[in-house]
Structure 1
Amino acid sequence: MSSHRRTRTRRPRSGRLRAVASLGAVGFLALGLGAQGTFAFWTDQATVTTGSFSSGTLDITLNGQLAGAANNGGTTTLPSFALSNMVPGESQAIAFPVANNGSVGLTYTVNGSATGGLAPGMQFTVATGTAGNTGTAANGNRTGTCSGGNLASNQVLNGTPSSVVGTARSLAVAAQESICVIARLDPQAANDLQGKTMTASLIFNAKQVGAP
């Protein structure tokens, strides 16, 4: 009995399959080539600038003097605030403007010091308002007064600066107020203070508003 071997015949690919395969190869090739190319990236830039910044000035003046940064910490003199041949109880007053000449608000306090043998017997009162002086040396009744309320009364000063007006006072920009000072020889001045002299200094300490 003879045997017959079945032969399997491979069917050729259809034209459609070959076309799809060809397109896939072309697509892969195109994709590979495109990944190696270069591209343009657009950019933009914008800038904002500030306006001008500037610092302010803190400037306290006394009696219209000591204006400007060059006079910071300076001293001015009131030559008319003097009295000779005083006897116990006599006094003299003087008033002068304290002004804010700077561009920011300020507060100020006052310290005082004195030198000379008469210092232990002299008393200083600081007030607001205008000054008035009455009496004569011949009568031994010269008296100085201030029209406003007292900020400090009968302060005795010595060689070490001490607080006279400890409660800060405020001055807005361009504002001023009249400060009045009375210097009096203690009515109970000791006999050994005869023939003595003294000079005093009042130090106005200014700070910007809000400073401790």
Structure 2
Amino acid sequence: MRTPRTSTRRRRRSGRTRAIISLGAVAVLATGLSVKGTFAFWTDSGTAQTGAFSSGTLDITVNGQLAGQANNGGSTTIASLALGNMVPGESVAGSFPVANAGTVPLTYTLTGTGSGGLAVTNGLQYSVTFGATAANTGSAANGNRTGTCGAVTPTDANTTLLTTAPSTFATNRALAVGASDTVCIIARLNSNAPNALQTLGGTASFLFDSKQVGA
């Protein structure tokens, strides 16, 4: 009678053991499923933007005039550079600023062209000085009116402005932004002017042709 009881207990223990093993297998399978699930990946991004771009302006002014792009290629009159009833050897001087009113550095070339009866050989002659202020002395009554630019005095070697081609007085003079040149011009009636020049008149045009540095 004892032997059957022992056999039943063993069978019960074996059943419990199988149940535990079975649960362990389920746990392993569950863990495998969690490994194969979908993960959320964090992301981030950044953007680099440039600063603002703008073009500069090239703007040369003469005697405080002709500022702005609307006056590009414009002209102004230097009233002090005029003298009537001149006799041979008399002269007049006028000075004025030429400035860079733009936002980029520039260089300029100065040329002159004459017009009228005195703007021919043995007529009006011109000299240009930079950095000097004009001074005028003498009187029409004495026929000795004289214009000077600092220590510079006019001579017969001064330039005659022709109507056919411009004469060059300066090439590629540099002006930084906000900088200026004082330009002094002397106009003189040649001391050897012939009688044929009596009663004649003339004018001159001085062109300040600017461009950006490096052009």
TM-score range for the pair, normalised by the shorter chain length: 0.7 to 0.9
Q: Which has the higher helix share?
A: 2
Shift of 1:210: 1.3
Contact 1:95 1:178 in 2 (8 A): yes
Separation in structure 2 between the aligned mates of residue 76 and residue 52 of structure 1, nearest angstrom: 36
Separation in structure 2 between the aligned mates of residue 97 and residue 197 of structure 1, nearest angstrom: 26
Q: Residue 196 of structure 1 is aligned with which of 194, 197, 200?
A: 200
Q: Residue 133 of structure 1 is aligned with which of 125, 136, 140?
A: 136
1:89 aligns with 2:93: no
- Check 1:161–1:50 CA distance in 2 against 1; reply closer, same or farther (3 A cut): farther
Separation in structure 2 between the aligned mates of residue 127 and residue 109 of structure 1, nearest angstrom: 14
- Check 1:198–1:49 CA distance in 2 against 1; reply closer, same or farther (3 A cut): same
Question: C-alpha deviations, 1:56-115, integer Å up to 9, x for none?
Answer: 111110100000111110000112321011011100000001111011111111111111
Residue type at the aligned position of 1:159: T
State the identity as a percent: 61
Separation in structure 2 between the aligned mates of residue 126 and residue 161 of structure 1, nearest angstrom: 18
| Alignment: residue pair count | 173
Q: Which residue of 2 aligns with 1:142?
A: 145
- Check 1:123–1:139 CA distance in 2 against 1; reply closer, same or farther (3 A cut): same
RMSD: 2.2
Q: Which residue of 2 aligns with 1:178?
A: 182
- Check 1:147–1:83 CA distance in 2 against 1; reply closer, same or farther (3 A cut): same
Separation in structure 2 between the aligned mates of residue 201 and residue 110 of structure 1, nearest angstrom: 10
* Secondary structure in 2 matching 1:79: coil
Structure 1 unaligned residues grouped into runs of 5+:
1-39
Contact 1:125 1:155 in 2 (8 A): yes
Q: Which residue of 2 aligns with 1:24?
A: none
Contact 2:113 2:167 in 1 (8 A): no
* Secondary structure in 1 matching 2:95: strand
Q: Which residue of 1 aligns with 2:160?
A: 156
Shift of 1:177: 1.8
Shift of 1:154: 1.2
Contact 1:93 1:131 in 2 (8 A): yes
Contact 2:60 2:101 in 1 (8 A): yes
Separation in structure 2 between the aligned mates of residue 60 and residue 160 of structure 1, nearest angstrom: 26
* Secondary structure in 1 matching 2:182: strand
* Secondary structure in 1 matching 2:70: helix
Normalised by the length of structure 1, the TM-score is 0.75
Q: Which residue of 2 aligns with 1:27?
A: none
Q: Which residue of 2 aligns with 1:29?
A: none
Normalised by the length of structure 2, the TM-score is 0.74
